[in-house]
Amino acid sequence: MTAPLLTSLAAPGGDRADALTVGGRSLSREELLGAAGAVAARIAGAPVVAVRASATPETVVAVVGALLAGVPVVPVPPDSGPAERDHILRDSGAALLLAGEAAVAAEAGEAPVETVRVELAERAAWSKPEPDPESAAFILYTSGTTGAPKGALISRRAVAADLDALAEAWAWTADDTLVHGLPLFHVHGLVLGVLGALRVGSRLVHTGKPTPAAYAAAGGSLYFGVPTVWNRVVRDPDAARALSGARLLVSGSAPLPAPVFRDLERLTGRRPVERYGMTETLITVSTRADGERRPGSVGRPVAGIRTRIAAEEGAEIGELQLTGPTLFDGYLGRPEATAGSYTEDGWFRTGDIAAIEPDGFHRIVGRASIDMIKSGGYRIGAGEVENALLDHPAVQEAAVIGAPHDDLGQQIVAYVVADGIGEQELIDFVAARLSVHKRPRKVRFLDALPRNAMGKPQKKLLPPA
Ligand code: MLC
Ligand code: AMP
């Protein structure tokens, strides 16, 4: 039986003043629980609450407060422009937007819901019983291939089951210090990187930004990063060497290039752990602290997860499908999209193409759809960026792809048919409407998009980026 999500929030091995450090500001667990209790008291009964998820202790307090109160949390990227932010707030039905002090000023008068300021110094005891494990902990907005992001409903049970499975695979205990600097609005940084540390009881140092220098200075035993972060670490050998005292370096959210794996081993003496996951499933496949780690492989399913490959007759690779207790409860208000993400016999269709080796190790080979881009570990739907570009009056047609990129894995490249506008202006236009990370890094201007006889744009025929 999985223990309820928040049962173990009190410090198992005794409290310390810097149990949680985010961007240089620290809280003890007692302070965190007190401030979160005050948030819980203020928002109890709300149907859904949004949190402006900047990398601050206020974000952690807001999220823990909502989880104490049993109010589902919708993290909002702090740099999201009005188009993306208003979609998330309206679609989720959030009644309130929680934000730290500096952020409140930035939001004032702009957001379409009431903004509530989170105060680290507030204290209230919260002693209500743990909410139903089947209730939603999070509504995480995530991109599909077309249209606006959908809200994935993640239950408390799914989060608890996943964190326990990962703690077992990585031998993650209260003796660890977890270090990372990932955004607090996605599974990697928020669910694993904050709730994981709180559930296991380890210290957490969030570096604000995931820079090599900040990782090197943090002195952790366990580090999380997306491949872009590890690529930057190995390009800074002094920073990389400073990580040789760590117990485990974990990479996920996108494929870790084999040369980066090898450079990490060479510079730190540590073979990185690779793990695979998705917003809709949480982290489902991983190599282990006590097992083999192989470049290009994400290992075996974690406890409770079963996987299979839906391959054509005779083929070894095909769509990875899975089932288990960490799966989501569907997309909010989108029964058709939810149904479409499952097979007839109830397995989740990841949309990733994979192979399973005879010894059970999984290799992720690619994505089924060209319209799902992974850039710097962020998942970006081509359709959402195309729609943003088409909102500009000068743009007549737009096609967006993820072009291979050494540092980001893929970089967003936009091909447009447009009059009287320059590249940077269009990049800034998208950055201001959506989140900054969804901006094209390059724009190519064409006289017309390549199309087939039916008039459908043919992305495979676009000129090289
Ligand atoms: C640049 N900036 C702009 C801009 N261009 N601002 C406004 N308009 C423009 N046109 C600013 C940015 O806001 C930022 O400011 C700065 O420039 C640098 O931005 P960037 O160039 O986009 O950053 P970059 O170096 O490319 O970021 C790399 C990165 C980032 C690795 C740090 O991609 C990242 O954090 N990735 C993590 C994604 C992640 O966590 N994914 C997990 C998904 S969950 P400033 O002030 O902010 O510096 C998942 C499940 C699983 O996948 O398996 O884990
Ligand atoms: P997101 O929904 O942002 O969590 O992105 C999920 C997607 O990230 C998956 O469907 C994969 O395409 C990709 N992904 C996550 N981890 C890995 C990994 N270790 N190797 C390759 N791809 C990964």
Cα separation, 31 vs 10, in Å, equals: 11
Fold type of domain 7-170: Rossmann fold (3.40.50)
Enumerate the domain spans of the chain: 7-170, 372-461
pLDDT at 107: 57
pLDDT at 15: 87
Distance between Cα 256 and ligand 1 center (Å): 17
CB 210 less than 6 A from any atom of ligand 1: yes
Sign of CA dihedral 438, 182, 297, 162: negative
pLDDT at 109: 57
| CA nearest ligand 1 atom 3, residue | 436
Cα separation, 305 vs 300, in Å, equals: 9
| CA nearest ligand 1 atom 34, residue | 376
Contact 352, 339 (CB under 8 A): no
Which pTM value belongs to this model? 0.97
CB 100 less than 6 A from any atom of ligand 1: no
On average, the pLDDT of the chain sits at 95
| CA nearest ligand 1 atom 20, residue | 437
CATH for the 372-461 domain, from 3.40.50.880, 1.10.460.10, 3.30.300.30, 3.40.1480.10: 3.30.300.30
pLDDT at 313: 83
Distance between Cα 211 and ligand 1 center (Å): 11
pLDDT at 463: 94
Distance between Cα 408 and ligand 1 center (Å): 10
Q: Is the fold of 7-170 the same as that of 372-461?
A: no
pLDDT at 4: 86
pLDDT band at 104 (very low <50, low <70, confident <90, very high): low
pLDDT at 12: 67
Q: Which residues of 240-253 are buried (b: 16+ CB within 10 A; e: fewer)?
A: bebbeebbbbbbbb
pLDDT band at 214 (very low <50, low <70, confident <90, very high): very high
Q: Which atom of ligand 1 approaches the CA of 282 most closely?
A: 50
pLDDT at 26: 98
Cα separation, 181 vs 145, in Å, equals: 27
| CA nearest ligand 2 atom 20, residue | 255
pLDDT band at 103 (very low <50, low <70, confident <90, very high): low
Q: Which atom of ligand 2 approaches the CA of 251 most closely?
A: 19
Whether residue 36 has pLDDT greater than 90: yes
Cα separation, 233 vs 349, in Å, equals: 33
pLDDT digits (tens, 9 = 90+) for 298-340: 999 999 999 999 988 888 899 999 999 999 999 999 999 999 9
Contact 238, 268 (CB under 8 A): no
pLDDT at 311: 87
Q: Which of 55-59, 110-114, 145-149, 426-430 has the lowest mean pLDDT?
A: 110-114
